Structure 1
Amino acid sequence: MADSTSELDAAAGRLDQALTALEGRFRALKAQSRGGEGDLFDQDRARLADDLDRARARARDLEDAAAEASAALGRAAEHVRLILTAEE
């Protein structure tokens, strides 16, 4: 019985050491996530904001191109109408 008690005490000691190391690692990671240069959340948010700005600029460019294409098609259709009317 003394052997099982000493083994249990040794296992409890190892578990306590492992929990202490785990708590230390958790505190370090938590501090890093709040820190300036290592703040992954701020970096991700900034990257997403940049992506959004680029997407909005691209959408404006596409809207401009669509408006130009529509105007060109309108002019072409009018030209075709004029030609067809002149041929009648």
Structure 2
Amino acid sequence: MPQLKDAVAELEAALGRLEASVDSLSDSHSPQRLVRAEAEALRRDRAQLAMDLDASRAREKELEALADEASRALGVAIAEVKAAMQAQPQKH
């Protein structure tokens, strides 16, 4: 998760730098179409990364809920085994 978060942050920073470059190139003779196309590609990549991050976070929450449920079930089972063992007469 941290890697995906870092990648999104890096992409946002790169997009900001690219947009600043586009603004500064508006007075130059560079092909603005190419720069704008690259900026749009970065925006699409960022959107995809954001969706992937959201999906990963949702999956993480699902897994945490399943782990909590399993932990509770295990706790109940342990308590039942202990109770059953205590209810039986001890043999010496």
Band the TM-score falls in, shorter-chain normalisation: 0.5 to 0.7
1:48-63 alignment to 2 at 5 Å? 48-63=49-64
Per-residue deviation, residues 27-60 of structure 1 (Å, max 9, x unmatched): 14223224xxxx1000000000000000000000
Distance across 2 between alignment mates of 1:79 and 1:61: 27
Shift of 1:71: 0.2
Distance across 2 between alignment mates of 1:31 and 1:69: 51
Q: Over aligned residues, Cα RMSD in angstroms?
A: 1.6
Question: What is the TM-score of this pair, normalised by structure 2?
Answer: 0.60
- Runs of 4+ aligned structure 1 residues displaced above 6 Å come to none
User: Who is 2:36 aligned against?
Assistant: 31
Higher helix share: 1
- How many residues get paired? 60
Question: What is the TM-score of this pair, normalised by structure 1?
Answer: 0.62
Which stretches in structure 1 are left out of the alignment for 5+ residues? 1-23
Q: Which has the larger radius of gyration?
A: 1
1:1-88 alignment to 2 at 5 Å? 27=31, 28-34=33-39, 39-88=40-89
The structure showing larger relative contact order (alpha-carbon pairs under 8 Å, at least 6 residues apart) is 2
Which stretches in structure 2 are left out of the alignment for 5+ residues? 1-28
